Amino acid sequence: MRIGIVLYPTFGGSGVVATELGKALARNGHEVHFISYSQPVRMDAFQQGVFFHEVMVPDYPLFDFDPYEVALTSALVRTALQEKLDLIHVHYAIPHAPAAFMAREILKTKGRFVPFITTLHGTDITLVGKDKSYEPVISFAINLSDAVTAVSAYLKEETLKHFSITKNIEVIYNFIDPIAIAEEKKECSKATTAPNGEKVIMHISNFRKVKRVQDVVQAFRIIASKIPSKLIMVGDGPERNMAENLAVDLGIREQCMFIGKVKNSLSILPCADVFFLPSASESFGLSALEAMACGIPVIGSNAGGLPEVQIHGKTGFLSEVGDYQDMAKNTLKILSSPSQYQEFSKHCIEQADLFRLDLILPQYENLYNRVFKEFTSF
């Protein structure tokens, strides 16, 4: 098949999932065309069957706000015609689903029938999509998609709760690629991050409010007061300064490393002993899954889709949102004995194995085939 994939090219989970999905589809013989405003971060080397089309938004002094959706729609129409796309798959509803809807309708007027699938990732529903400024358009674009998927059962329920949805939403979980993990694992050396054998607590995110990075720092203070440890904070975003200042105020700044954005989190994850994801809401928690695949137990919040990914008491622990004291207590429990830690680590690898790429990829391929057949049979 010739598939167009629309995505955010940045470090966020939806972009990572979309890029890894596209690369895997190309390895399976499909032709994949990524369409975005810049090259996806995880699309870093030439790969047979993978193409990138940059959406250019022309500068014009009249515009206070660049009409990205219009430029994206035009790019979709152009790419679909030139590359003879069979199907378009958009990741993150805003503004990708409305643009794909518009492109599909324009293509119809040109005698080309190109269905589109929308994958909901999280904040496109739970934070941004719900906002009244976007809701009517998002509801419409979801209902008029040729198929809709959500990355967790929680996200599906949230979508049904907050929008008037007439379309069936299928759950297709996020995935990990064991081959990529094995390759990246070689990159990281604990000798540099924890030279004196300290335990390493790690958090990776875009440092938005929803990630509650302050809870990571607060919990770390308690952990560090009991065992020699280091905190590695990976990523960047609006809450980074606050977290760094908090570390200073708590007198633990020396034990914390704020390293900023890392292109591929898999390259640093194996340096961790415990991974923290205390979000206020998390539709899936791809970074937690990646940590588990590396055998790293997860301390998280009992929020959103996280309980669908990790098992409380087996692959880590889930606490109530904001209860950093409980999170610290649970971390110390995991780290209290090497044999206990090994048990958690083993369960993490087993649990992450249920989300292997080779189990998830056919679900997308089946969906593509079904949608393509249904759409072209009219």
Q: Minimal CA–CA distance to 256: which of 270, 240, 269, 267? A: 240
Scanning 78-86, 206-214, 317-325, 345-353 for contacts with ligand GMT by CB under 6 A, the matching segment is: 206-214
Assess 284 for contact with ligand GMT (CB under 6 A): yes
Whichever of 92 and 368 has its CB closer to ligand GMT, that residue is 92
CA dihedral of residues 85, 91, 95, 96 (deg, nearest 10): 10
**What is the smallest separation between the CB atom of 73 and ligand GMT, expressed in angstroms?**
21
The answer to whether 278 contacts ligand GMT (rule: CB under 6 A) is no
**One of 25, 148, 210, 256 touching ligand GMT (CB under 6 A):** 210
Q: Does 17 bind ligand GMT (CB under 6 A)?
A: yes
- Name which of 355, 273, 344, 277 is nearest 313 in CA terms: 344
Q: Are 137 and 147 in contact (CB under 8 A)?
A: no
Q: Which of 79, 149, 265, 283 binds ligand GMT (CB under 6 A)?
A: 283
Q: Could you give the CA distance from residue 360 to residue 354 in angstroms, rounded to a whole number? A: 9
Is 275 one of the binding residues for ligand GMT (CB under 6 A)? Answer: no
Beta strands in the chain (DSSP E): 2-6, 31-36, 50-54, 87-91, 116-120, 147-150, 169-171, 199-204, 229-234, 256-260, 274-277, 298-301, 316-319
Peptide bond just before 270 cis, omega within 30 deg:
no
Task: Map residues 121-160 to x or -, x wherever contact with ligand GMT holds by CB under 6 A.
Answer: xxx--x------------------------x---------
CB of 323 to ligand GMT, least distance (A): 19
Q: Which stretch binds ligand GMT (CB under 6 A): 7-15, 54-62, 94-102, 312-320?
A: 7-15
Give Cα separations from 188 to 182, 184, 203 (angstroms): 12, 8, 16
Does 92 contact ligand GMT by CB under 6 A? yes
Contact window for ligand GMT (CB under 6 A) among 23-31, 55-63, 120-128, 157-165:
120-128
- Give the number of residues written for the chain: 378
Q: Which residues bind ligand GMT (CB under 6 A)?
A: 12-15, 17, 92, 121-123, 126, 151, 174, 206, 208, 210, 279, 281-286
